[in-house]
Structure 1
Amino acid sequence: MKINIKKLDADAVLPTRGSSQAAGYDLYAKSSEDTVIPPHKTVMVGTGLAMEIPEGYFGAIFARSGLASKQGLRPANCVGVVDSDYRGEFMIALHNDTDEERVIAGKERIAQMVVMPYLSVEFEEVEELNETERGEGGFGSTGRK
């Protein structure tokens, strides 16, 4: 699969992946300047890129494991969704979960994108749903007693 990509900033870094088996493509901060993220705040960090995700797919934006576990920085919405018809700049809302100010260096890897298929469905309103053994059992209903 090929994805058309447009640099909106001449210095933007194209997505990369850490190995040939990596599912995620690293996204980079576009700015060559540092971005400060205050404690418990969210800052929008641009990538300087726009893409054409193919129809039937979406770009799932996930945290970079090292950035999240070592620096306490993650996408504010935990998992972002970039639809195939979006043509604007890929922006990452990075949230600082720590009590300390964090700094994103210019051109640092800030998130990863996994391109995933989705099913387009139609919802049909009905009076009753099919019965199951679980029924209406919610959180923890299938676990330990």
Structure 2
Amino acid sequence: MDVPYRLLPHGEGLTPAYASGGAAGLDLLAAIAEPVTLAPWSRTVVPTGLALALPDGLEAQVRPRSGLAARHGVTVLNTPGTIDADYRGEVSVILVNLSPEAFTVRRGDRVAQLVVAPVTRVRLVATDALDATPRGAGGFGSTGR
């Protein structure tokens, strides 16, 4: 499926791509002029220089890269970040450093992945009662360990 995109001037040469034939997400690259250092326990918005024109019925999810999380404690703060089909602005990534050591992001670094997925829209229907289930209203770990 084709998705039109535009690289903004600061994203020149940083086209997202799938890292392997079986990859679910396109790697998003840092479109920054100078390195940015994330202090421990801090966050920053990293531009990608990418703007998309997703077709109706699709969304793009900005997700963490497992290698950054496992090796450096760096992840995407609002996981998954949602890019709606009618958004035409720059895709940016909110990175957070959850480790006790500083982490430096450089131009072209793979900072997140972008997964495009179908969207199901629903119509909420008000009711006085919901059907019962064995779980009921239990949440936040109520199904066990």
Give the TM-score of the pair, scaled to structure 1. 0.92
Hey, what does 1:21 align to over in structure 2?
22
Aligned to 2:143: 142
Residue 131 of structure 2 is matched in structure 1 by 130
TM-score w.r.t. length of structure 2: 0.92
**Structure 1 residue 110 displacement after superposition:** 0.5
Residue aligning to 1:6: 6
Match of 1:69, SS state, is helix
Structure 2 residue runs without a partner (length 5+): none
Q: 1:107 to 1:32 in 2, by over 3 A?
A: farther
Counting only pairs closer than 5 Å after superposition, residues 66-145 of structure 1 correspond to structure 2 as 66-143=67-144
User: How far apart are the structure 2 equivalents of 1:11 and 1:33?
Assistant: 15
Q: Which blocks of at least 5 consecutive residues in structure 1 are unaligned?
A: none
> What do residues 17-46 of structure 1 show as CA deviations (whole Å, max 9, x unaligned)?
111111010000012421111111110100
Residue 38 of structure 2 aligns with an amino acid whose one-letter code is I
Moved over 4 A (4+): none
Matched residue count: 144
Kindly report the root-mean-square deviation, in angstroms, between the aligned alpha carbons of the 2 structures.
1.4
Give percent identity, aligned residues only. Answer: 38
Cα distance in 2 for residues equivalent to 1:43 and 1:19? 28
Deviation at 1:123, TM superposition (A): 0.7
